[in-house]
Amino acid sequence: MAKNTLIDRLRNIGIIAHIDAGKTTTTEGILYRTGLKHKIGAVHEGETTTDWMAQERERGITIVSAAVTCYWKDHQINIIDTPGHIDFTVEVERSLRVLDGAVVVFDGKMGVESQSETVWRQADKYNVPRFCFINKINQTGGDFYKSLESIHHRLSKRAFPIHLPIGFEQSINGVVDLVNMKAYTYKEFTDHELIEGDIPADMLDEAKKYRSLLIENAVAEDEAMLEKYLEVGEDGLSPEEIKKAIRSAVLTGKFFAVTGGDGRGVIVEKVLDAVNELLPSPLDRGSTWGVNPKSGEEIERTPSESQPFAGLAFKIATDPFVGKLAYFRVYSGKIVAGSYILNSSTGEKERVGRIVRMQADKREDVSEVIAGDIAAIVGLKGTTTGNTLCDQNNAIVLESITFPEPPVSIAIEPKTKADQEKMSLALQRLAEEDPTFRIQVNEETGQTIISGMGELHLEILVDRMKREFNVEANIGQPQVAYRETIRKDGVEVQGKFIRQSGGRGQYGDVWLRLSQNEPGAGFEFINSIKGGVVPSEYIKPVQEGIKEAMSNGVMAGYPVVDMKAELYDGSYHEVDSSEMAFKIAGSMALQEGVKKANPVLLEPVMKVVVVTPEEFMGDVIGDLNSKRGRIERMEDLSAGVKEITAFVPLGELFGYTTTLRSNTQGRASSSMELDHYADVPGNVAEAIIAKHSK
């Protein structure tokens, strides 16, 4: 960090949005305006800074989040440009975990889209203060007020403009600033500076109306300011006081300032001003809490250099030039190149070789990083996403990052036997980078199975394997990650394992009571043993045996989920009992019990959002219905364009994008995300079980 940058002048922000709303272009505009680039790269020409992977440039989408540091009006801004495609939602999730604020970009021609809602919910989950930038309003079909209406309708009524556009569509040539009641205009949107002047006469009434709304709602979040406002009215408040009130309101995470323009244009300077003036510094976000790994007690860390060092690794990336990079956020203290730190999540010591500040895929070496800042360490060996890095003498474990289970799997094998080892290494590297990418080897068939968030996700990973590791692979048909669960409560079952074969025998005896758990709550083990009928040293082995048996269900071998197992009785033998015997007994009881507890097969159900011209609506709905889809809602997005939201089982959706294109002459688009697991209908379940038993 530049020595003169103080923590209160530091901004860690994410640019989040629906796919194609213009996140990467807006980031390019910011880099250009802050002097990091001499021209703005175009996404469709593959020239952007943050989309630096070959696949990103070819497809014109962002796949991995990229970190960039820039400076604006004596503030340091660390920006993370995140992907909009739902298959890469993990990138948004992990970025929001370490960011202090966000700029949500909307396509001014489309308003709020399905992914806009998803990233908004993710920001709510981490309570990240944000403001809204309505992009592309100077293009045909762009409409600031319609987009604002859709934000009110679908995201929050508490969104208020701080600027109003001057003009409409291509005639837009600036904004009215509602805080200081001035107009800022340009001749060409790519001009080098904004010209300050008076508000156009025909906009004065509208500006006053929106200003009153803005101030009235902003002061409501601050008691002292509200009192003053009630005393002196809005005209009695200075622009500085109004800004302070808006900032306080934005920092609550429940009030959203809105601006608009073209992400490539000079108006981006107003976005940068808003980042400095409205979004939080690490000091505004306050303390971080973690636990002591030995005692389990809670520990507080404040964003100060004088505190012991604590940071969170939020992303692992393989850099073609320097090897493994661990991106991390410092929450307290400072970290110095050449020192040793503790990875408290694994208990291992790590040496900090080089620390680099990232300019997307370029690097700048720094000697230290202080509280509040974001950087990357080169060469950490055992660190993965979500690990806590801290001072060796002051151990703390910060809350990690949770990731969804991947619902889509494919079998993969190298094209040549010689590539087998290279493929294993490549898959391992990719899995280190991406926590939603899983690899397992099917013990029966010896096949390697890879799992991810969607078809595109797996397609990109296989492509990266080919380009970055020179491994050609054959892939099988996509498979659905089914689950099994039970539908009957209070089932009591005994698991007894006795073996006498000369010498010392084996004896383990347990009674379990099985019940359903809440959907998504996972497995819960309850120990209700009284009076030592099962000695305490055998309790954990019983739990392990149950867990092991749950990984292979009784219907079709899929993992059993969302279940409670209560160990309430049993017996043991003074000589013959062992941990292994009780582990086997627990496993036997579980398998027997699941059979008696009405087992059912569960399938992943996706929330599918289709945007289509009205004339194809009938075809799209008919097709979704034929895929066992349930239509949830239909909305008008704009003239002649409909948005359909449906819930459809994943097993019916492979190749859906291609089908949709042919049904709509290539004019409709869709996005899907895992929503929940649901019972598979009887006839479909029979087919799946029959296929599995072959």
Under the banding of pLDDT at 50, 70 and 90, the label for residue 359 is low
Interatomic CA distance for residues 111 and 143, integer angstroms: 8
Helix, coil or strand: residue 439:
strand
At residue 93, the pLDDT reads 67
Give, in words, the CATH class of 408-479. Answer: alpha beta
Helix, coil or strand: residue 315:
strand
Please tell me if the domain spanning 408-479 has the same topology as the one spanning 603-693.
yes
More reliable by pLDDT, 505 or 341: 341
Q: Which CATH code is given to the segment(s) 7-285?
A: 3.40.50.300
Query: What are the tens digits of pLDDT across the range 425-470?
Result: 888 888 877 778 888 887 656 778 888 877 777 888 888 888 778 8
Under the banding of pLDDT at 50, 70 and 90, the label for residue 586 is very high
Nearest to 331 by CA among 360, 300, 355: 300
Residue owning tokens 């009405």: 598
Strand bridging mode 10-17 / 75-81: parallel
More reliable by pLDDT, 562 or 654: 562
Under the banding of pLDDT at 50, 70 and 90, the label for residue 55 is very low
Choose the most confident range, by mean pLDDT, from 219-233, 581-595, 679-693: 581-595
Of 3.40.930.10, 3.40.50.300, 1.20.1250.20, 3.30.230.10, the CATH number of 484-597 is 3.30.230.10
What is the Cα 545 distance to its own chain's centre?
Answer: 33
Query: What are the tens digits of pLDDT across the range 126-163?
Result: 889 999 999 988 888 889 999 999 999 889 999 999 99
Which positions ≥6 away from 108 have C-beta within 8 Å?
A: 134, 135, 136, 137, 139, 142, 143, 144, 147, 260
At residue 83, the pLDDT reads 54
Helix, coil or strand: residue 27:
helix
At residue 2, the pLDDT reads 38
Query: What are the tens digits of pLDDT across the range 479-498?
Result: 888 999 999 999 999 999 99
Q: Which fold has domain 603-693?
A: Alpha-Beta Plaits (3.30.70)
At residue 550, the pLDDT reads 94
Q: Which residues of 169-192 are buried (b: 16+ CB within 10 A; e: fewer)?
A: eeebbbbbbbbeeebbbbeebeee
DSSP codes joined into one string, 362-411: EEEEESEEETT-EEEEE--SS--TT-EEE-TTS--EE-----PPP-EEEE
In this prediction the pTM is 0.70
In the sheet where 491-499 sits, what is the strand order?
491-499, 506-516, 563-571, 523-527
From 69-73, 256-260, 593-597, the region with the lowest mean pLDDT:
69-73
Query: Based on the number of CB atoms within 10 Å of its own CB, is 281 exposed (0-12), middle (13-18) or buried (19 or more)?
Result: buried
Residue 562 has a CB neighbour count (10 Å cut-off) of 19
Which positions ≥6 away from 602 have C-beta within 8 Å?
A: 482, 483, 484, 485, 561, 677, 678, 679, 680
At residue 405, the pLDDT reads 74
Query: What are the tens digits of pLDDT across the range 510-548?
Result: 999 999 999 888 899 999 988 888 998 999 999 999 999
- Token duo for residue 234: 């809005």
At residue 169, the pLDDT reads 84
Interatomic CA distance for residues 50 and 27, integer angstroms: 8
CA distances from 598 to 264, 485, 593 (A): 59, 8, 9
Quote the mean pLDDT of the chain.
Answer: 84
Quick one: which H or E segment has residue 691? Answer: helix 682-693
CATH superfamily, domain 288-398, is Translation factors (2.40.30.10)
- Token duo for residue 426: 């490549």
Nearest to 136 by CA among 260, 4, 292, 1: 260
Which positions ≥6 away from 683 have C-beta within 8 Å?
A: none
pLDDT at 39 over 50: no
- Token duo for residue 58: 């070819």
In the predicted model, what is the mean pLDDT of residues 265-273?
88
431, 438 Cβ separation under 8 angstroms? yes
Per residue, the 3-state secondary structure of 161-217, as one string, reads ECEEECCCHHHCCEEEECCCCEEEECCCCCCCCCEEECCCHHHHHHHHHHHHHHHHH
Domain regions of the chain by residue span: 7-285, 288-398, 408-479, 484-597, 603-693
Interatomic CA distance for residues 100 and 290, integer angstroms: 18
DSSP codes joined into one string, 221-238: T-HHHHHHHHHH-GGGS-
DSSP E strand stretches across 261-400: 288-291, 298-301, 310-319, 323-332, 334-336, 340-343, 348-351, 354-359, 362-366, 368-370, 374-378, 388-390, 397-398
Interatomic CA distance for residues 478 and 452, integer angstroms: 10
